Amino acid sequence: MSGVGLKLSDVRFAYDDWQVRFDMDVAPGWFVAVIGPSGAGKSTLLNLVAGFEQPSSGSILIDGEDTCTLEPAKRPVTMLFQEHNLFAHLDIHTNVALGISPALKLTAADRDRIAVAFDRVGLSGLEQRRPGELSGGQRQRAAIARALVRDKPLLLLDEPFAALGPALKNDMLDLVAEIHREGHMTVLMVTHEPQDARRAASHTVFLDEGGVVALDQTKTLFARKDLPGLKAYLGA
């Protein structure tokens, strides 16, 4: 498996007098950075794909299937939020295990997978800690471990590393990029920093004025001179 394709066709969403309309086609295996000014609908895009918001019309195809009527948990999607990715009152092993079974019924094989995931994100030995006893970076690593055990082909990142310092953030980006390179996931990542996109994303989509302005290879997109909105956004 090499991740799944994601296709949004004429997806409309309105909240009060604010509205957006998305048309976008992401091929399997892409790592797409989502950039754009605040209010452009970056988080809304992810919330629509994850199923936390319902579009008023249009279709969202994941791997060719329309997912609009599915509950969030039934979609082949994992989403990492900016915060509250973990239950603060449960240790991180339990937090990760919830990604396999909401009733916490684990087989021996499940436990092995969890151990592998913890090892993968560099948290081995800290499984019994609670989120409050970890640093911000470690907490997001635990959340990534859960994404790993969930093993959904579409990973959505809603600025989960925005609160981390530059060095830590780069570590996290590299970890996600590494996981992405293993080829199981298509990734959509909201970010405010162009260098994040350059560092990790194969493609970048620029949102502005209620819709998708351009989706291109990251290098190509940032080099484009024909998008006034992008120029204004980057301030260059």
Residues that bind other proteins (CB under 8 A): 50-52, 54, 71-74, 77-79, 81, 83-90, 94-95, 98-99, 102-104, 130-132, 139, 142-143
d(CA 35, CA 46): 12
Helices (H), the chain: 42-50, 92-97, 108-121, 136-150, 166-181, 194-200, 218-223, 228-234
Would you say 105 or 225 has its CB closer to other proteins?
105
Rounded distance, CA 20 to CA 39, Å? 10
**Angle ∠(59,65,66) on CA atoms, nearest 5:** 25
Encode 79-94: b = buried (16+ Cβ within 10 Å), e = exposed.
bbbeeebbeeeebbbe
Give yes or no for a contact between 198 and 212, defined as CB atoms under 8 angstroms apart.
Answer: no
Q: Which is nearer to other proteins, 171 or 216 (CB)?
A: 171
Q: How far is the CB of 98 from other proteins (least distance, A)?
A: 5
Q: How far is the CB of 162 from other proteins (least distance, A)?
A: 12
Encoded amino acid at 219, one letter: K
Q: C-beta of 231: minimal distance to other proteins in Å? A: 34
Distance of CA 81 to the CA centre of its chain: 8
**β-bridge mates for residue 216, sequence order:** 204
Residue whose CB is less far from other proteins, 175 or 230 = 175
CB of 25 to other proteins, least distance (A): 24
Report how far residue 73's alpha carbon sits from residue 231's, in angstroms, rounded to the nearest whole number: 38
| Helix 108-121 and helix 136-150, axial crossing angle in degrees, nearest 10 | 140
Q: Which lies closer to other proteins via its Cβ, residue 44 or residue 85?
A: 85
CB of 129 to other proteins, least distance (A): 11
Q: 145 or 221, CB closer to other proteins?
A: 145
Minimum CB–partner distance for residue 221 and other proteins (Å): 29
- Report the C-alpha gap between 212 and 236 in whole angstroms: 21
Cβ proximity to other proteins: between 86 and 221 the closer is 86
Question: Considering the complex, what minimum distance in angstroms separates the CB of residue 22 from other proteins?
Answer: 19
Of 56 and 195, the one with the shorter C-beta distance to other proteins is: 56
